[in-house]
């Protein structure tokens, strides 16, 4: 969520993510007449075995607990929790969904997405 919201990872990383969201929205408009949909999925902190959060959990448990505590769900996301909405977007059930940034972060984001 470093694109739509300023956070500790703002700077080049957040700027690039913001640009991708804007670019994909433009693609959606350009390609809609050809039946092509374009969307972005913005996952929040996602825990993957052997990933960065697993490393932080063992190397900096205080930071890990802070990150977990910031999320209203009380846990970091899982790959499965991110994958399910991606599968939906790729399915025909989402035929009218294009040009959106689907936030999958367990209510972590504090801003209202318009």
Question: Catalytic site residues?
Answer: 13
Measured CA to CA, the distance from residue 6 to residue 64 in angstroms comes to: 19
Task: Report how many helices (DSSP H) and strands (DSSP E) the chain contains, helices first.
Answer: 4, 2
Asked if residue 101 lies in contact with residue 43, where contact means CB atoms within 8 angstroms, the answer is no
Can you read off the two tokens belonging to residue 2? Answer: 């470093």
Pairing of strands 40-43, 101-104: parallel
E strand intervals along 1-114: 40-43, 101-104
Can you read off the two tokens belonging to residue 6? Answer: 């300023």
């Amino acid at each position: 969520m470093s694109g739509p919201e300023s956070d500790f990872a703002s700077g080049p990383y957040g700027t690039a993510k913001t640009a991708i969201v804007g670019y994909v929205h433009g693609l959606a408009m350009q390609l809609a007449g050809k039946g092509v949909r374009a969307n972005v999925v913005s996952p929040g902190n996602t825990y993957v075995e052997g990933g960065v959060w697993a490393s932080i959990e063992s190397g900096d448990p205080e930071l890990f607990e802070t990150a977990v505590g910031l999320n209203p769900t009380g846990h970091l996301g899982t790959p499965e929790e991110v994958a399910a909405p991606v599968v939906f977007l790729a399915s025909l059930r989402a035929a009218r969904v294009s040009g959106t940034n689907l936030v999958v972060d367990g209510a972590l984001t504090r801003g209202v997405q318009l």
